[in-house]
């Protein structure tokens, strides 16, 4: 068996048909939604979210496959907040898959893919989420600005 640190999740674009898979990731991440003071969204809401994303040419939602299992999601936007930049609005690894390097490997792969055209990648952290802040800090992101009382932007030059 390959040690988990040497494995990388595969990133697959999630169109509207992937709503049940993304919903499954959300259902397996109750702690994240609890931290935001909410519950995982209903399947119909996830489908609407994916339909809206499909209409936005700059938005990308990707499922993270760990072998044949869907282990997480990566949601980001190109040319945002400015042309030549990009912003991660969510990297979510379902609770059973945490701590195996999946989040790090997914973001690192995205950085490498964007680096030729994107000069800076941002990460947006909602609510009080010290684990997410430590995650992005471990990946070389630094606090950039507050985007409001419940929103922090981190940034990394690529």
Residues found near ligand COA in the complex (CB under 6 A): 32, 90-93, 98-104, 125, 129, 131-132, 134-135, 138
Q: How far is the CB of 116 from ligand COA (least distance, A)?
A: 24
Task: Annotate 94-118 with DSSP letters as a single string.
Answer: -GGGTTSSHHHHHHHHHHHHHTTT-
* CB neighbour list of residue 116: distance below 8 Å, 6 or more residues apart: none
Q: Which is nearer to ligand COA, 15 or 131 (CB)?
A: 131
**CA-wise closest residue to 88 among 44, 35, 41, 135:** 135
Q: How far is the CB of 26 from ligand COA (least distance, A)?
A: 10
Determine the Cα–Cα distance for residues 69 and 63; give it in Å rounded to an integer: 10
Q: How far is the CB of 5 from ligand COA (least distance, A)?
A: 9
Smallest gap from residue 144 Cβ to ligand COA (A): 14
């Amino acid at each position: 068996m390959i040690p988990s640190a040497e494995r990388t999740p595969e990133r697959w674009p999630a169109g509207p048909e992937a709503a049940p898979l993304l919903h499954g990731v959300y259902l397996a991440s109750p702690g994240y939604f609890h931290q935001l003071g909410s519950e995982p969204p209903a399947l119909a809401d996830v489908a609407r979210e994916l339909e809206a994303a499909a209409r936005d040419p700059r938005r990308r939602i990707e499922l993270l496959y760990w072998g044949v299992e869907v282990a997480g999601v990566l949601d980001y936007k190109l040319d945002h907040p400015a042309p030549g930049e990009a912003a991660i609005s969510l990297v979510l690894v379902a609770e059973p898959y945490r701590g195996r390097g999946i989040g790090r490997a997914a973001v690192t792969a995205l950085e490498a893919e964007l680096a030729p055209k994107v000069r800076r990648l941002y990460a947006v952290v909602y609510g009080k989420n010290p684990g997410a802040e430590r995650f992005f800090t471990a990946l070389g992101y630094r606090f950039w600005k507050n985007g409001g009382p419940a929103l922090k932007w981190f940034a990394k030059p690529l």
